[in-house]
Amino acid sequence: MTIGDDLYDQAEEAAATIRTVCPEAPRIGVVLGSGLNELADRLVDAARIPYDRIPHFPRPTVAGHHGTAIVGRIGGRRVLMLQGRFHYYEGHDLDAVTLPVRVMQRLGVSTLILTAATGGIRSDLTAGDLVILSDHLNLLGVNPLRGANDDRLGTRFPDMTAVYSPRLRAIAAEEAAALSIHLAEGVYACMPGPSYETPAEIRMLRTLGADVVGMSTVPEAISARHGGMEVLGIALVSNAAAGVAGTPITHDEVLAAGRDAAPRLASLVERIIARLAVESPSAG
């Protein structure tokens, strides 16, 4: 699949299926990373659609990614939540990886909240910390916008000066303070995976200015900005990156950290969405 008519049409077909259970357009979308599923339980009047019922959606193959789209309300605001994402390292091309973002775009989502489990590069970040993304490094070696541009999806050369909305970051910081949640800010480095990084790669990323590292999020953020969405990225530090703590990294560790931090992250995102509902009540 290449960016163009195929992607637009596939996104519209998938969106049409979601509209059958959600005729009212959601304005906020949330993508849940590894083990970060508790927020979905806080949706009111929720309707669930397994990915295998949504046209062109692959099934996630990674533990901690349930593969369900859920539509419900938080703070009176209609929200579309995705339990599970598709990764480049699973063998998908970036059109498939970012298809859910395009589906949200076709549904009318204007604000996208991305969550992800990450490795902490900066020495002051420890497992369980939450980090608001201020910027990113796309080190996948490919861009999701490569290829023919479809003007219905966005402009040919989208600006990436502020991928992660300063307005949403400020709201997140204020709501974290109200909850007494420590919230750091940092730069996310996206690596292709699926192997965790080597200590030498982590030293390189630190030199480049990265604070956390992961294998997702960045293609979604780029596509969302291409589509005119306002983006907020929240990273959970699930482990110290390779060479920082001197111990091996396992996916079980990532999932366990997600389970431990999920209540705090869920409370924070819930507050952010409720705040947006108050500040923009007419946005659905």
Is 182 among the residues known to form the active site? no
Is 188 among the residues known to form the active site? no
Query: How far is the C-alpha of 117 from the C-alpha of 77, rounded, in Å?
Result: 26
SS3 of 2, please?
coil
Nearest by Cα to 47 from 19, 13, 76:
19
Is 90 among the residues known to form the active site? yes
Q: Which of 37, 51, 69, 87 is catalytic?
A: 87
Q: Which of 69, 238, 239, 240 is catalytic?
A: 239
Q: Which of 1, 8, 12, 89 is catalytic?
A: 89
Is 87 among the residues known to form the active site? yes
Q: Which of 65, 110, 172, 220 is catalytic?
A: 65
Is 239 among the residues known to form the active site? yes
Is 189 among the residues known to form the active site? no
Query: How far is the C-alpha of 49 from the C-alpha of 47, rounded, in Å?
Result: 7
Q: Are 211 and 129 in contact (CB under 8 A)?
A: no
Q: Which of 11, 15, 34, 165 is catalytic?
A: 34
Count of CA atoms in the C-beta half-sphere (13 A) of 1: 20
Q: Which of 37, 138, 216, 238 is catalytic?
A: 216
Q: Which of 11, 14, 69, 117 is catalytic?
A: 117
Q: Which of 215, 241, 242, 261 is catalytic?
A: 215
Is 51 among the residues known to form the active site? no
What DSSP designation does 249 have? -
Q: Which of 25, 66, 251, 283 is catalytic?
A: 251
> Does residue 194 have a cis peptide bond before it, meaning omega lies within 30 degrees of 0?
yes
Is 282 among the residues known to form the active site? no
Active site residues: 34, 65, 87, 89-90, 117, 215-216, 239, 251
